[in-house]
């Protein structure tokens, strides 16, 4: 009995009059490709594109493209100012010290206007001196978590936690215990 069921439903014989169809396979709606992204998807793309542009590609213009004029960095890294120019200077500093600096994204989660990024940035210390340490040729990593708030397609706030201590230890600024 099962054999005849398969034969009828899976037959490609035009005399049977049944179009073959796989049961349990979801057919993709071609119109779905034309859907607009949700606001959380859009916010995630904005944050991801900003990080890639400023820190991985080294484009200081990313600050103008992605950060709102009233941007506030609640946890500016390594003494940078809490505004857009502080983010620009942080990006420039990392690129001048670590010319191959890049950020590897591990997790990107969004809810409402907030986007959380978990990452590990790294680069080879072949550029300028940093904190009194000359270029060593060593690869340095900086894991961290950032929370961004997005408004009207621009990043307006950032909170972050970076492994500053681990970063300073890798540079040799602080001795390992």
Total of domains in the chain: 1
Confidence of residue 2 (pLDDT cuts 50, 70, 90): very low
Range in 21-30, 50-59, 119-128 the model is least confident about:
21-30
The mean per-residue pLDDT over the stretch 121-149 comes to 97
Lowest mean pLDDT among 12-26, 34-48, 158-172: 12-26
Q: Are 171 and 140 in contact (CB under 8 A)?
A: yes
The distance from CA 62 to its chain's CA centroid, rounded to whole angstroms, is: 14
Distance CA 125, CA 100 (A): 9
Mean pLDDT to the nearest integer, 30-51: 80
Whether 125 is in a domain gets the answer: yes
* Position 21 in a domain: no
> For position 66, which CATH number holds?
3.10.450.50
User: Is residue 11, in this structure, part of any structural domain at all?
Assistant: no
127 burial (CB, 10 Å; 0-12 / 13-18 / 19+) is middle
Range of the domain at 47: 39-171
pLDDT at 156 (0 to 100)? 98
Q: Is the pLDDT of residue 100 over 70?
A: yes
E strand map for the chain: 67-73, 102-111, 114-124, 139-151, 154-162
Q: What is the pTM of this model?
A: 0.78
Domain membership flag for residue 15: no
Residue 129 corresponds to which tokens in the numbers above?
Answer: 């001196």
State the pLDDT at residue 160.
97
């Amino acid at each position: 009995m099962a054999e005849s069921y398969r034969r009828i439903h899976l037959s490609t014989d035009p005399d049977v009059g049944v179009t073959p169809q796989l049961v349990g396979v979801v057919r993709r709606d071609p119109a779905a490709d034309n859907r607009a992204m949700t606001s959380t998807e859009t916010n995630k793309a904005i944050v991801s594109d900003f990080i890639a542009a400023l820190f991985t590609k080294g484009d200081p213009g990313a600050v103008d493209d992605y950060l709102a004029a009233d941007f506030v960095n609640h946890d500016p890294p390594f003494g940078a100012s809490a505004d857009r120019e502080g983010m620009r200077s942080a990006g420039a500093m990392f690129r001048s010290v670590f010319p191959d600096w890049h950020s590897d994204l591990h997790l990107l989660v969004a809810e409402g206007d907030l986007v959380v990024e978990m990452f590990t940035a790294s680069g080879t210390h072949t550029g300028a001196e940093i904190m009194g340490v000359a270029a060593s040729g060593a690869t340095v990593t900086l894991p961290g978590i950032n929370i961004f708030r997005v408004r009207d397609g621009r990043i307006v706030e950032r909170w972050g936690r970076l492994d500053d201590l681990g970063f300073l230890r890798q540079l040799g600024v602080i001795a390992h215990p």
